[in-house]
Structure 1
Amino acid sequence: MGRVNDLSALLTDEGQSLLAALRDHDPAQELALATRLRRDHPADLVSAALGQARLRQRAVAKFGAEDAHRMYFTPHGVEQATRRSVAAYRAARFAALGVRRVADLCSGVGGDAIALARAGVQVLAVDRDPLTSAVVRANAEALGLAELIEVRCADVTETDTTGCDAVFVDPARRGGRGRIFDPEAYSPPLSWALSAARTHPVAALKIAPGIPHERIPGDFRAEWISDGGDVKEAVLWYGAFPPGSPAVRATLLPGPHSLTGGGLPDPAVRPVGRYLYEPDGAVIRAHLVAEVARDLDGGLIDETIAYITADAARATPYATGYEITDTLPFNLKRLKALLRAREVGTLTVKKRGSAVEPEELRRKVRPQGPNAATVFLTRVAGAPSMLVGHPLPAAV
């Protein structure tokens, strides 16, 4: 869907009927389906409906089937939209701070606006693209949230946010050549977003997870958020935490589980013990591996590798634990012999600090058998190594 007229056509009774018929269509049969539908419907409408049906199928992973098949999307909007669980977490934090009206600047297709409205917060959703603004309006109507979401098509840098007690800014971080790593090349630039945030009691700015810590202003607090083990975003919060609170935090969803800290020295390097812990990506991005190592009474296997080794199995939401059965110098023949002796056919390969690709290793060792194992390709005290083990039970 590339034009406002396409969206308007999809909102008609005929367009709605087509979308309902295409809800569970098989993309492999799309050509034959399009030919059949064009016998009874305009070709442009069929094309728009098929395109929207494809976008809805892609959006299920972020929004869930119930919402995705009622909403409207653009290709860019699906790619950039906030995952529903992350948006709901952030909206709950705004609501808990007593925020009543948020200016959602660079609203995209409305994922965050929808979450805020569902949390009982009124939203001014602003985007400069006419089609995107029309999509937000259609989504608010489709989900019964139109009374809480005001949509405005405008340049966010020229938008009056008076009357809003908070702002949320989600600047574009992709350009024609892919991801943008310089925050000042965001659209709008991070410096503008920081200034806009400081004019309100509460603000949140969405940024790339790889932002250097030295770029975080002293009057903001940074939070890295992961969902299901995958780092989804980083957020700079203004006015959301008491003065003197830790500058960084890692939040893991579902949960949420939030770890704060900062300032601990790097853990000592120690020999590989019985257990290995792989910190969540948000913990690593927030530079909180030392806090997890302290809680596990553990140390690092290498000063440059974020794997924690410990002698006891302890429960933590901030790292995945493994029991290590073998520690080997890097040698594919030895690994292949070990896996054959253990009858390992299901091999999970993880790497950190190794140039070997997991698929390359599987192809060379050719695991066979009824058992499963995990191998870590990494460095131990500077030496290329292989650690073999298996995940700890979830209860541990």
Structure 2
Amino acid sequence: MDAALARLLTSPDGVALVDALPPYSPTEAERVGRELRDGGIAPELVAAVLTQSRMRADARAKLGDFAAGMLFTQDGLEQATRLQVAALHAQRFRAAGIDRVGDLTCGIGADAMAAAALGLDVTAVEVDEATALIADHNLRHWDAARVVNADAMTVAAALDVEGLFADPARRNARGRRHDPRDYSPVLDGVLALRERVPALGVKVGPAIPHDAIPADAEAEWVSVDGAVVEAGLWFGPLAESPGHAALVIDSDGAHRLAGSTERAPLGELTDYLYEPDGAVIRSGIVAQLAARLDATVVDPTIAYLAAARPVATPFAHGYRVLEALPFKVKALAAALRARHVGTVDIKKRGVDVTPEQLRPQLKLHGDSRATVIVTRVGGRRMALIVEPL
């Protein structure tokens, strides 16, 4: 999106046009577009408002009811922080007694909105003019929030703030970038800002290498409903304590586990198997979860945990092991047929097989359903027929 189109979209007439559209429907979009063009609306604007309508519908999963009044860029929506996670970011600043926050790479303004909603004074910086116009529209309800169209690393030193937050871009023309040196701005440059403003928070990709994380950081990986969505690096008064942590958010709330990244002890397969949440795995604190469950890993290269008894935990999915056998397609198919299984859910880890390839090879017919985990146990390829707890 160029700045001219962004100015048109954020004008009173442009906003009114987007707001007047019916709920987005892919099957109705062509008809709605034709009616708008027949009514004298320029084709470029018609395409833009229909795109906004689609993105509003897509954004509800991340931003809830706020999405209905927002405008977006595609890249900005893809990188925007989920509302519930952005609220937790903002709460860190408020809990640290910080009133004035600089959001150095604000994008469409999701994190800045969450901070402003908690009563913080927010200066949101965005280098792209079109995106800055979109962010300014999204922050229009908060008098204590303002958008500056500038390069964040150029103006950071001049901001009158007590804390800084940054969400560097992690996507370019080649796609998503995992190397912090490919971030924009580069991660090392952002981290250097803590020398001037110790209260620094940085949202990074969950695939960030552990050796790229400074020793004084609290690194927290976040999952929402089972999907790992981000990692955050927190410094100074924003950090509870240096080290690694996993934050698991589900329908019951937010659950936090922290600890060292030492290896979990190795043991034998037992009657109960646990698959740690992705945030636990990414953070490297599987051993902390193992201690909670009184469990051991079943293979030194796999994060599955075996325990002698069932334990309720938000940090892992648990299974009762019904049968374990060496992974051979014919043997597995026979074991499933003996259980009258016609539908199978297949999970795999550490084994070169895909559920899409394996499922038709089993040739199952039956009225029961089962879960199969294909993985490594003690260095051997095994198929585990399990029952979710």
Query: Whole-Å Cα distance in 1 between the matches of residues 158 and 319 of structure 2?
Result: 50
Task: Give the aligned partner of residue 3 of structure 1.
Answer: 2
Counterpart pick for 1:356 among 350, 353, 358: 353
Query: Whole-Å Cα distance in 1 between the matches of residues 78 and 239 of structure 2?
Result: 34
Aligned 8 A contact 1:229 1:281 in 2: yes
Task: Give the aligned partner of residue 247 of structure 2.
Answer: 251
Query: Whole-Å Cα distance in 2 between the matches of residues 367 and 119 of structure 1?
Result: 55
Task: Give the aligned partner of residue 152 of structure 1.
Answer: 148
Task: Give the aligned partner of residue 48 of structure 2.
Answer: 48
User: Which residue identity lines up with residue 329 of structure 2 in the other structure?
Assistant: L
Query: Whole-Å Cα distance in 2 between the matches of residues 49 and 250 of structure 1?
Result: 39
Query: Whole-Å Cα distance in 1 between the matches of residues 329 and 198 of structure 2?
Result: 58
SS in 2 for 1:222: strand
**Superposition map of 1:7-156 within 5 A:** 7-12=6-11, 14-43=13-42, 44-64=44-64, 66-141=65-140, 144-145=141-142, 147-156=143-152
1:346-373 Cα offsets, whole Å, 9 max, x none, are 4221111011111112222244444322
Task: Give the aligned partner of residue 264 of structure 2.
Answer: 266
Structure 1 runs of 4+ with >6 Å offset: none
Query: Whole-Å Cα distance in 1 between the matches of residues 16 and 202 of structure 2?
Result: 39
Query: Whole-Å Cα distance in 1 between the matches of residues 172 and 49 of structure 2?
Result: 27
Unaligned runs of 5+ in 2: none
More moved, 37-46 vs 188-197? 37-46
1:38-76 Cα offsets, whole Å, 9 max, x none, are 111312322221111122122122112x21121000111
SS in 2 for 1:389: strand
Query: Whole-Å Cα distance in 2 between the matches of residues 252 and 154 of structure 1?
Result: 35
User: Which residue identity lines up with residue 57 of structure 1 in the other structure?
Assistant: A
Structure-1-length-normalised TM-score: 0.92
Residue 14 of structure 1: CA displacement? 4.3
Unaligned runs of 5+ in 1: none
Query: Whole-Å Cα distance in 2 between the matches of residues 184 and 281 of structure 1?
Result: 24
User: Which residue identity lines up with residue 92 of structure 1 in the other structure?
Assistant: Q
1:116-169 Cα offsets, whole Å, 9 max, x none, are 11122111100110001000011112xx22x12110000111114442110001
Task: Give the aligned partner of residue 280 of structure 2.
Answer: 283
User: Which residue identity lines up with residue 239 of structure 1 in the other structure?
Assistant: G
Residue 11 of structure 1: CA displacement? 3.9
1:300-333 Cα offsets, whole Å, 9 max, x none, are 1111100001110011221111111011111112
SS in 1 for 2:309: coil
Residue 31 of structure 1: CA displacement? 2.2
1:21-47 Cα offsets, whole Å, 9 max, x none, are 434132123223212221113123222
**Superposition map of 1:114-263 within 5 A:** 114-141=113-140, 144-145=141-142, 147-159=143-155, 160-240=157-237, 245-254=241-250, 255-262=253-260
User: Which residue identity lines up with residue 154 of structure 1 in the other structure?
Assistant: A
Aligned 8 A contact 1:373 1:389 in 2: yes
More moved, 352-361 vs 26-35? 26-35
Residue 179 of structure 1: CA displacement? 1.9
User: Which residue identity lines up with residue 8 of structure 1 in the other structure?
Assistant: R
Structure-2-length-normalised TM-score: 0.94
SS in 1 for 2:370: strand
User: Which residue identity lines up with residue 262 of structure 1 in the other structure?
Assistant: S
1:241–1:264 distance in 2 versus 1, CA, 3 Å: farther
Aligned 8 A contact 2:324 2:384 in 1: yes
Residue 278 of structure 1: CA displacement? 0.4
User: Which residue identity lines up with residue 55 of structure 1 in the other structure?
Assistant: M
SS in 1 for 2:92: helix
Residue 334 of structure 1: CA displacement? 2.0
Matched, 1:316 2:345: no
Query: Whole-Å Cα distance in 2 between the matches of residues 369 and 15 of structure 1?
Result: 57
Query: Whole-Å Cα distance in 1 between the matches of residues 238 and 148 of structure 2?
Result: 30
SS in 2 for 1:320: strand
